[in-house]
Amino acid sequence: MLKKCIGDPFLILPTESVRINDSLSYEEILVQILDRQVRRLRTKDVASVKVLWRNQFVEEATWEAEEDMKKRYPHLFESGGNAD
């Protein structure tokens, strides 16, 4: 059975601010690194950073591998510390 969906107008993004490719996809741009953590596994430590992306709210920030972010955005890690 179908139900009527009432959308939240605050979650609608203006299409002018998002550059959509011909394949109807877009690239997220890193805005800020919010947090850093190191998780200890049995044989190694895994460093992660909490990343805030453009066009997303703080609640939607994602944890990404720190090494991947260093490769993609080396300018954020040049100071040797956290990029807060």
Over the chain, what is the mean pLDDT? Answer: 82
Q: What is the CATH number of domain 27-84?
A: 2.40.50.40
pLDDT tens profile 11-50? 776 666 667 777 777 778 888 899 999 999 999 999 999 9
Q: What percent of the chain has pLDDT over 90?
A: 35
DSSP-based helix, strand, coil % in the chain, nearest 5: 20, 30, 50
- Structure tokens belonging to residue 63: 């944890």
Whole-Å CA distances, 20 to 10, 27, 68, 74:
20, 8, 24, 25
CA 18 to chain centre: 15
1 exposed, middle or buried (CB, 10 Å; 0-12, 13-18, 19+)?
A: exposed
